[in-house]
Amino acid sequence: MERVRIFDTTLRDGEQSPGFSMNPEEKLQMARQLARLQVDVIEAGFPIASPGDFEAVRLVAREVRGPIIAALARAHKTDVETAARALEGAERPRIHTFIATSPIHMEHKLRKSPAEVLEMAAKAVELARRYVDDVEFSAEDATRSDPDFLVQIFTAAAEAGATTLNVPDTVGYATPEEYAALIRYLRERIPGVERLTISVHTHDDLGMATANALAAIEAGARQVEGTINGIGERAGNCALEEVVMALHTRQDRLPFQTGIETTQIYPTSRLLVALTGVDVQPNKAIVGANAFAHEAGIHQDGVLKERSTYEIMTPQSIGLPQNRLVLGKHSGRHAVRVRLEELGFHLDAEELERVYQRFLEVADRKKSITDADLAALAGAEGRPLEEQVELVHFQVSTGTGMDPVASVRIRRGEEILRGAARGDGPIDALYRAIDQVLGVEVELVHYQLQATGEGRDALGQVTVRLRPRVNSGAPGGEEEGAVEGASATPSLPEVMGHGSSTDILEASARAYVQAINRLLAGDPRSRTPVEEVV
Ligand code: KIV
Ligand code: ZN
């Protein structure tokens, strides 16, 4: 059976979409899980984009063994050099360089002629090859490019030393037959193609990312690029779990093999949800909460008589925990650790202790702790964080016909700071009180509250994104490391915070204080507007 390589870009194309940013430690945690999933390539970031991206690629390159570690670079000298520096220390480094090839992008975005683009591509690949043996070249917006120009530029890239040629459907425009035909066209015309890997990179704007990737595999592509849970720009990238399980389940039609350890799919999906605070839709293929749920009576009856009546793959095959062991306040560290590992959280002793202590606090208020509760606690508490400030106490008064008032006590070093504020609502009052006590001026960019389960005692899981107000003097208030060619408007770094509790006000306060701690620690997740160039 022929092997298809799985190239994961969750930490690059996925992470760059709004609401999914991760700091370098979170990216490292995710990369370790991707290595357990046994993806072939981890694209760890776009090092020129920001100091945070550089640091994340550097960390992953040094720490993660097994998969190839790739870094993205435009076809510019500084991009390639920066990617090479970030990859120092990687066991199997890859530089992934790209340039747009469609008339629309060359004319309006790059303002370059096809001949100039061709030359830039060849030069970038050549330069990348001076640093690493493994170079991938992508023709951005390939599906809206002239196929003969693609043949020319891919041939030039291969002659310059690229061994993987990627054909992105950047704007999710292609249909499966059309995409497959393009792959066949290129394979018939690029000299020496049998020594090269043709890769596909699909986006889901028209809901065809997975179908396009599968059609391309049948047409000869042997690398598929995508993300976990299909996160990514706009409607997202191709969901890797869908491609992998389609190949796994339909061997009769798609006789291809991947190196993926499918039982790590569910833990990887849940880890990403916990790190980003963004859940997948319940009906999402493979990893959605309902993907293996049988509600209708006729379906339940069928499944009870014979599973295969309505189930085309088993929940075990994607690593959905089968053990319904209920965790509660009498559960020990061992049981909590084992369940966390089933959910994708491999914590060190200190992180485990933090999560366990929060688990005990919550278990005191709640009869049983579900997987979702546990993942929320691990996502919010598990990561080591230099805590400069800690919420000691809060109180909020609210009710009909009154202005909500919040008071807080916050520890900063040895000091206990106290303050109170009014607000439009209880959370506004709470956040104003925290701002006032700490003397910070931040903007709440995003607030999300989700229940982890169905009952009245479900945990409230809050995710916030904050950024310093312009001229506030708060750390990170100045633009750093802008990408040449990107927007002139400075984009301030954003930080994320998560908090979980049976009390939604407490969860909100915890999330806010965690985000402020990150801001104070100068969390390098600053994101410059690279979206405009990629
Ligand atoms: O969608 C795209 O074209 C990309 C490239 C940078 C590979 O993400
Ligand atoms: Zn993309």
Query: 389-520: which CATH topology?
Result: Double Stranded RNA Binding Domain (3.30.160)
pLDDT of 390-447, one tens digit each? 999 999 999 999 999 999 999 998 899 999 999 999 999 999 999 999 998 899 998 9
Q: Which ligand is nearest to the CA of 71?
A: 1
pLDDT recorded at residue 492: 57
Which distant-in-sequence residues (6+ apart) come within 8 Å of 42 by Cβ? 8, 11, 31, 34, 35, 60, 64, 67, 68, 69, 70
Which pTM was predicted? 0.83
Residue 348 scores a pLDDT above 90: no
Q: Which residue has the higher pLDDT, 324 or 446?
A: 446
Start and end residues for every CATH 3.30.160.270 domain found in the chain? 389-520
Q: What pLDDT digit, counting tens, does each position of 463-474 carry?
A: 898 888 865 555
Is the beta carbon of 236 within 6 A of some atom in ligand 1?
no
Q: What is the pLDDT of residue 299?
A: 67
Is residue 13's pLDDT more than 80? yes
Between β-strands 389-397 and 405-412, what pairing exists: parallel, antiparallel or unpaired? Answer: antiparallel
Q: How confident is residue 296, by pLDDT bands cut at 50, 70 and 90?
A: low
List, by residue range, all CATH 3.20.20.70 domains of the chain.
2-276
For the residues 209-227, what does the mean pLDDT come to? 98
| Ligand 1 contact, 371 CB (< 6 A) | no
**Per residue in 364-398, pLDDT tens?**
888 778 877 888 888 766 555 567 899 999 999 99
Mean pLDDT of 132-152: 98
Q: How confident is the model at residue 300 (pLDDT cuts 50, 70, 90)?
A: low
Which atom of ligand 1 is nearest the CA belonging to 166? 7
For residue 24 and ligand 1, the question of a CB distance below 6 A is answered with: no
- The mean per-residue pLDDT over the stretch 452-461 comes to 80
* CB 98 less than 6 A from any atom of ligand 1: yes
Q: What is the pLDDT of residue 534?
A: 43
Nearest residue (by CA) to ligand 1, atom 2, is 170
Atom of ligand 1 nearest to the CA of 170: 1
Give the best-scoring range by mean pLDDT among 38-52, 276-290, 292-306, 373-387. Answer: 38-52
CA distances to 379, 389, 419, 435, 505 from 509, in Å:
16, 12, 14, 11, 6
Is residue 232 lining ligand 1, measured as CB closer than 6 Å?
A: no
Pocket test for ligand 1, best of 138, 154, 200 (most atoms within 8 A of CB): 138
- Tell me the pLDDT of the chain averaged across its residues: 89
Least distant ligand from the CA of 98: 1
Distance 140 CA to ligand 1 centre (A): 6
Q: Residue 530: its pLDDT value, please? A: 42
- Model confidence at 122, pLDDT cuts 50, 70, 90, reads very high
Of all protein residues, the one whose alpha carbon is nearest to atom 1 of ligand 1 is: 170
Closest atom of ligand 1 relative to the 534 alpha carbon: 6
pLDDT of residue 489 exceeding 50, the answer is: no
| Burial category of 192 from C-beta neighbours within 10 Å (exposed 0-12, middle 13-18, buried 19 and up) | exposed
Cα of 422 from ligand 1 centre, angstroms: 47
- Model pLDDT, residue 495: 82
Q: Provide the pLDDT for residue 342.
A: 79
Q: Which of 103, 136, 98 is closest to 120 using CA atoms?
A: 98
The CATH architecture to which 2-276 belongs is: Alpha-Beta Barrel (3.20)
CA of 12 to the centre of ligand 2 (A): 9
Ligand 1 atom closest to residue 171's alpha carbon, by position in its atom list: 1
CB of 13 closer than 6 A to ligand 1? yes
pLDDT for 280 beyond 90: yes
Q: Quick one: the chain helix, strand, coil %, rounded to 5?
A: 45, 20, 35
300/319: higher pLDDT: 319
- Residue 13 CA: nearest ligand 1 atom is 8
100, 113 contact by CB (below 8 A): no
Between 134 and 290, the more confident residue is 134
Residue 45 has pLDDT above 80, yes or no: yes
